[in-house]
Amino acid sequence: MKKETSVRIGLVVAGVVIQLLTAGCQGGGGGLFDLFGVGGSEVLGVFGGGSGSGDSGTGGSTTGTGGGSTSTGSNDSIAQVHNPEPASLALFGAGLAGMGVFRRRKARKAALVFVQTPERSTLSAEHQTMWAIARAARNTARLFGSQRKLWVPFLVVAFIELFLIGLIWLAPQHPFSILLAPPIRYFFGEKNLHYPWHLWFLYHVMKHTHFITTTFIGAYMGGIACAMVRQAHEGKPLFLRAAVASRQVRYGRMLLLWLLTWGIATGAIELVTRFAPKTHWMLWAVIGLSIALQALLSYVIPAAVYEGSVWWKAFFQGIREALRYPFSTVAVVILPTILVICFAAIAPETRVAQWMARATPEIALLWVGIRLVVWMVADVLLTVSLAHLWWAHRATNQVNQVTATVSQKAVSSTSGQQGTSAHAQEGPAVA
């Protein structure tokens, strides 16, 4: 209180001193027209309103002719500033002082509100969710810019899967038929080794090659991608070799966690489709269940990579993360999941067979390539966005911690000021 009172008194004294100083500058008495070097009696002469006789001004003689003015004397310029106007300076200074007082009161009021309502010191749940989603989406978009190297692990998986499909394509040909034809003939039938059914069989068998590739290669490469996302958030360059050499990703742990999550999701969907009533809403129930299971089990591998936990502990940590941030997790998971579901609805195996019959059998090869690209893009978006969302949640917690620290400092500062004020008010009474 004493400090604020002294500041106000200083502003008043400064305003009075400015008035006195400007009033005495070069002996001028001030006034609006003294700003342009003429006295109050020269108004008519300056604006050409004289009666023909000249009035002596500060800068020379001015002769009014009824319609204009001419300047003579030692100075040719009428608008020469000699001394500023005290009233203008006073208004300007008062405005600055008022702005300062208003800003100080506004800051103090905001600090009091900030202190009195601690719940405002942290981001609300809605703001946390939206901020985390926006941050994860912005960082994921860098896949097509500065973080293009994050595609490398998934391209490796796609090329290995393409290699397996190529082996199946060559299965009817000698010498590959010696090793590959018998299992195809036993499990899928003889006709799938002959044209044109063999081309449709390539599209059909992709679900098996995708499972094999994802289980033995994709799970590990997904963990490597998470480690590379960590490099980006730590400000390090993205290197696949450094992520592998860091030993953050354990192959056996990734393999076990992938099989566990795949078994839970597949078993749950299989139970629903087998025992649930066959109604029109059954399809939507399966889609909703797929999204929910994907969101629930999506953090298992990131938890194993970032926390370094054993497989069973990482499994429960991933589920806890999903339950802690359900809305942001579903928002990130839903796009790649819907992408895969929509493609499965557009190009099922029966429809591809129809297209082969109507157009040409070789069109199946085109859909094999499209399916492989769709699955790879969905896998990239899902893995990278979830990894970025993991770090976005941590960044939100850091913001809340910093804000809470500022709140505590504001509380301490306000309590100290109130204590000092109370002591100053009680002092004279005690005396």
Partner residues linked to 64 by β-bridges: 69
Burial class (CB in 10 A: 0-12, 13-18, 19+), 410: middle
Shared-domain flag, residues 155 and 264? yes
Q: How does residue 18 score in pLDDT terms, banded at 50, 70 and 90?
A: low
Q: How far is CA 198 from the centre of its chain?
A: 48
Shared-domain flag, residues 10 and 142? no
The Cα–Cα gap between 203 and 352 comes to: 8
Residue type, 106: K
In a domain, 59, yes or no: no
The confidence score (pLDDT) of residue 284 equals 87
In a domain, 325, yes or no: yes
User: Does the structure show a pLDDT above 50 at 64?
Assistant: no
Q: How does residue 423 score in pLDDT terms, banded at 50, 70 and 90?
A: low
Burial class (CB in 10 A: 0-12, 13-18, 19+), 267: exposed
The residue assigned the tokens 């490796």 is 156
The residue among 117 and 5 whose pLDDT is bigger is: 5
Three-state secondary-structure class, residue 309? coil
Q: How, if at all, do strands 69-72 and 61-64 pair? A: antiparallel
The residue assigned the tokens 């208004």 is 91
In a domain, 334, yes or no: yes
Does the global pTM surpass 0.85?
no
> In the chain, pLDDT over 70 holds for what percent of residues?
63
The residue among 258 and 420 whose pLDDT is bigger is: 258
Give the model confidence (pLDDT) of 376-399 as tens digits: 999 999 999 999 999 999 887 655
Per DSSP, the chain holds a count of helices (H) and strands (E) of 17, 3
DSSP letters along 4-71, please? HHHHHHHHHHHHHHHHHHHHTGGG----TGGGGT--GGGHHHHTT---SSEEE-SSSEEEE-SS-EEE
In a domain, 166, yes or no: yes
* Residues 6+ away with beta carbon under 8 Å from 253: 304, 310, 311, 314
In a domain, 252, yes or no: yes
Q: Compute the half-sphere exposure of residue 53: CA atoms within 13 Å on the CB side of its CA.
A: 1
End-to-end CA distance of the chain: 20
The Cα–Cα gap between 424 and 193 comes to: 98
* C-beta separation of 347 from 368 below 8 A: no
Q: Compute the half-sphere exposure of residue 189: CA atoms within 13 Å on the CB side of its CA.
A: 8
The confidence score (pLDDT) of residue 138 equals 93
Shared-domain flag, residues 246 and 110? no
Give the model confidence (pLDDT) of 263-283 as tens digits: 999 999 999 888 888 887 888
Q: Which of 89-98, 232-241, 273-282, 354-363 has the lowest mean pLDDT?
A: 89-98
Shared-domain flag, residues 97 and 150? no
In a domain, 423, yes or no: no
Shared-domain flag, residues 111 and 178? no
Shared-domain flag, residues 183 and 111? no
Q: How does residue 194 score in pLDDT terms, banded at 50, 70 and 90?
A: very high
Highest mean pLDDT out of 15-19, 150-154, 238-242, 285-289: 150-154
Shared-domain flag, residues 204 and 320? yes
Q: What is the dihedral of CA 308, 336, 372, 362, to 10 degrees?
A: 170
Cα distances (angstroms) measured from residue 242 to each of 118, 228, 246, 387, 391: 44, 8, 6, 18, 20
The Cα–Cα gap between 74 and 264 comes to: 101
Residue type, 377: V
Give the model confidence (pLDDT) of 132-189 as tens digits: 899 999 999 999 888 999 999 999 999 999 999 999 999 999 899 999 999 999 999 9
Q: How, if at all, do strands 69-72 and 54-56 pair? A: unpaired
User: Does the structure show a pLDDT above 60 at 212?
Assistant: yes
* C-beta separation of 343 from 349 below 8 A: no
Shared-domain flag, residues 250 and 327? yes
The confidence score (pLDDT) of residue 421 equals 53
Shared-domain flag, residues 98 and 137? no
User: Does the structure show a pLDDT above 60 at 193?
Assistant: yes
The confidence score (pLDDT) of residue 313 equals 95
User: Does the structure show a pLDDT above 50 at 352?
Assistant: yes
Highest mean pLDDT out of 55-64, 91-100, 296-305, 415-424: 296-305
User: Does the structure show a pLDDT above 60 at 231?
Assistant: yes
Domain extent, residue 138, equals 127-404
Number of domains into which the chain is organized: 2
In a domain, 223, yes or no: yes
Long-range contacts at 302-306 (CB < 8 A, ≥ 24 apart) = 302/226, 302/386, 302/387, 302/390, 304/223, 304/250, 304/253, 304/254, 304/257, 305/223, 305/226, 305/227, 305/230, 305/248, 305/249, 306/226, 306/230, 306/390
User: Does the structure show a pLDDT above 60 at 116?
Assistant: no
In a domain, 422, yes or no: no
Q: Which of 38-42, 395-399, 401-405, 411-415 has the lowest mean pLDDT?
A: 38-42
Shared-domain flag, residues 184 and 302? yes
* C-beta separation of 292 from 268 below 8 A: no
Shared-domain flag, residues 236 and 337? yes
Q: How does residue 414 score in pLDDT terms, banded at 50, 70 and 90?
A: low
The confidence score (pLDDT) of residue 153 equals 96
Average pLDDT, the chain: 77
Shared-domain flag, residues 359 and 221? yes
